[in-house]
Amino acid sequence: MARPGGLADWLGVSRPTVTVTLQRLARDGWVDVAEDRSISLTPAGEAAASDLVRRHRILERWLVDVLGLDWAAGDREASSLVHGVSDEVVNRLDQHLEHPRSCPHGNPVPGRGTIPAGLVRLDLLPPGEPAEVVRISEVAEHEAPQLLRLLHELDVTPGRRVTVCTVGASLGVEVEGNAVELDRGAARAVWVAPLS
């Protein structure tokens, strides 16, 4: 359950701004605010949020896969476009992309799959154990565009085989046979499926 203070911190806005916005969202039937100030989406709010996430992830796939933008630019541009593109255009893009199951970072398009069980954060993967990158944390998408750019440049992307080779202040990681170094913060954002 989210709380107003946590939302304000995460969004980087004032608490009164969040309070006023939540009052409007509750009035319009998108969220419920409990007596303990915890916030949850109503069924209508959940449907609207799922549609928004779906639109964003389809636009991201198009921007990255077809237009060739890097992950950070694709995420930024999808955020700008998501409210200005008609349902018809999003549905045509979805069809053109053959109904992708995830965004470029491996997070599922709503209604097309779930996050697999048994994933491990890369920073917790035992050294020498091979794994496959499955997804990048959604929090990293929001909070750290520079992290998305770094992971994309280092090819730490869904479908790539990785092995932690050395552990210290940072991690020495082999990605498809290439040695890279990741700080622990970056490694915490990468979720992998162990292959052993």
Q: CATH number, domain at 14?
A: 1.10.10.10
Which residues, in sequence order, are bridge partners of residue 2? Answer: 39
pLDDT at 77: 94
Residue 116's contacts (CB-CB under 8 Å, 6 or more residues apart) are: 134, 193
Same domain, 54 and 21: no
- 115 is a domain residue: no
Q: Which domain holds residue 71?
A: 45-96
Q: Among residues 80, 96, 112, which one ends one of the domains?
A: 96
Q: Give this prediction's pTM.
A: 0.82
Which residues, in sequence order, are bridge partners of residue 194? Answer: 131
- 102 is a domain residue: no
Q: Which CATH number belongs to the domain containing residue 148 in this structure?
A: 2.30.30.90
- 107 is a domain residue: no
Pairing assessment for the beta strands 161-167 and 120-121 based on DSSP bridges: unpaired
pLDDT at 87: 95
Same domain, 25 and 58: no
Same domain, 51 and 85: yes
Same domain, 25 and 57: no
- Do 75 and 64 form a contact (C-beta atoms < 8 A)? no
Same domain, 141 and 80: no
Same domain, 54 and 36: no
- 74 is a domain residue: yes
- 129 is a domain residue: yes
- 65 is a domain residue: yes
Same domain, 91 and 126: no
Same domain, 87 and 126: no
Same domain, 85 and 137: no
pLDDT at 141: 61
pLDDT at 142: 62
106 vs 119: CA distance, rounded Å: 12
pLDDT at 138: 79
Reduced to 3 DSSP states, what percent helix, strand and coil does the chain have, rounded to the nearest 5? 45, 20, 35
- 114 is a domain residue: no
Q: How many domains does the chain have?
A: 3
For the chain, 196 residues long, the average pLDDT of each consecutive 10-residue run is: 72 80 88 85 92 95 95 91 95 97 92 89 94 87 76 92 92 94 91 92
- 106 is a domain residue: no
